[in-house]
Structure 1
Amino acid sequence: MNLYLKYPHKGSRTLRDVLWDDHSIHINRKAIQRLMRVMGIRSIAPQKKTSTPNKEHKVYPYLLRNLTIERPNRVWCTDITYIPMRKGFVYLVAIMDWYSRKVLSWCLSNTMNPDFCVEALEEALMHYGKPDIFNSDQGAQFTSTEFTGAIQTALY
């Protein structure tokens, strides 16, 4: 338990490595997983399904099927990932041009609300104009009224 309190962001693989390297305790990962389950502990890092859609938000069609992207600003895309930190993690959103693969803007946040996504979008629009198509997953941040409103205002 003390090891978990010292490293609450580490999962079973990393805890195994710490035990092997720092404490010379040779235990396999499945045993650590079982002990964590018995004690009711788990990593505080984000779990799967970070792109869960909100059922109340509109679902938009996929526009890129059979589309040839031949120039910059034709299609932009965005996604969110998380960055593990010493104590917890932060979320990173990036806006990218599909043709050039250039990151147009990015923003960090410690919450998954759509505000930091809108901020990154507005910065990209300010510096690079507007794209013909904007592509994202159907996660709640990108289908929120704040984000889709900012897209619609910029593109239409």
Structure 2
Amino acid sequence: MMKMWKVLNRQEVLDEHGRPTGRRYPPVARCTVARRMKALGLVGAVAGDHKRPRTTIPGKDVHPADQLNRNFTAPAPDNRWVADITYVPTWAGFVYVAFVMDLFSRRIVGWRVTSSLHTDLALDALEHAVWQRQRQGRDLTGLVHHADRGVQYRAIRYTERLEELGIVASVGSKGDSYDNAAAEALNRVFKTELIRRQGPWKTLEHVELEVLRWVDWYNTTRPHSWCDYLAPAAYENGYYAARNPSTATAAEAHTTLH
């Protein structure tokens, strides 16, 4: 209800051609929104824990230290990323989805959907994130990349790629989901808002197309409580606008993930 109230009070009046007029509608009381939602039988989606198959298997090699220690905040974009893998059951079998999220804005900067849990799943999501940020002119040197101890994130190819980019690897403790709680929370939101609402899922291609649409909506339209009820892309643009207006203008051209 809170998000609906915030969005309604930010809506601009449009002219007959659908263009913003610079004027806003009169403010709506929160109790009014709550009363109308109740009358219409509308309730917000609530993310919750659900049983699921294992998507990461702990690696046995020497692992990096935990650089976050459950502090899932960041002072700026591209300071700290978190990564994790979840699953989607389809009529053709399980498919797996890897996400990389920026902790500053909770923006999904990289993602990948595949039919296996091989290292390429996590690595392709990382490469997507790197491509997204580098095309925006971001410097990733010194960025902290945090994940669990799954073999996908501890694979030699993955750790070597992080080193090559100047990114600092970080992992949580064994078997403790709280050490990667921000990424786990994103997975729950993803399952609640997309997977459990639009199933049944038929094929990998079906999932991949809808994940693309959901990520774009999540990043550019969906109000996020972490971002003062702005969309993650708008929250980042506000950060850059306060420091360099020309940089913020350029960033607005890259708010859609492909």
Short-chain TM bin: 0.5 to 0.7
Flag the 1:66–1:144 CA change in 2: closer, same or farther, 3 A.
closer
Residue 118 (structure 1) shift: 1.1
In the alignment, does 2:159 pair up with 1:155? Answer: no
* Alignment coverage as a number of residue pairs: 110
Residue 47 (structure 1) shift: 5.9
Q: Which residue of the partner structure matches residue 63 of structure 1?
A: 67
Q: Which residue of the partner structure matches residue 100 of structure 1?
A: 105
Residue 48 (structure 1) shift: 4.0
Q: Which residue of the partner structure matches residue 23 of structure 1?
A: none
> Distance in 2 between the 1:58 and 1:152 partners?
15
Q: Which residue of the partner structure matches residue 40 of structure 1?
A: none
Q: Which residue of the partner structure matches residue 145 of structure 2?
A: 134
**Could you tell me which of 63, 69, 84 is aligned with 1:79?**
84
> Distance in 2 between the 1:76 and 1:49 partners?
22
Residue 66 (structure 1) shift: 7.3
Q: Output the TM-score relative to the length of structure 2.
A: 0.40
% identical aligned pairs: 27
**Could you tell me which of 131, 139, 143 is aligned with 2:154?**
143
CA contact (8 A) 2:82 2:145 kept: yes
Return the letter of the residue paired with 1:52. Answer: I
Give secondary structure in 2 for the equivalent of 1:152.
helix
CA contact (8 A) 2:55 2:117 kept: no
Residue 141 (structure 1) shift: 0.3
CA contact (8 A) 1:77 1:97 kept: yes
Flag the 1:66–1:142 CA change in 2: closer, same or farther, 3 A.
closer
Q: Output the TM-score relative to the length of structure 1.
A: 0.64
| Long gaps (5+) in structure 2 | 1-50, 168-258
CA contact (8 A) 1:115 1:146 kept: no
**Of Structure 1 and Structure 2, which has the larger fraction of its residues in helix?**
2
Return the letter of the residue paired with 1:65. Answer: N
Residue 154 (structure 1) shift: 0.8
Larger radius of gyration, structure 1 or 2?
1
Return the letter of the residue paired with 1:82. Answer: Y
Q: Which residue of the partner structure matches residue 125 of structure 1?
A: 130
Give secondary structure in 1 for the equivalent of 2:67.
coil
> Distance in 1 between the 2:65 and 2:129 partners?
23
Cα deviation per residue 1:51-95 (whole Å; 9 max; x = unaligned)? 22121x321110113755211111001000001112211000011
Alignment RMSD (CA, Å): 2.1
> Distance in 2 between the 1:99 and 1:148 partners?
23
> Distance in 1 between the 2:90 and 2:107 partners?
25
> Distance in 2 between the 1:103 and 1:140 partners?
22
Q: Which residue of the partner structure matches residue 109 of structure 1?
A: 114
| Long gaps (5+) in structure 1 | 1-45
CA contact (8 A) 1:94 1:120 kept: yes
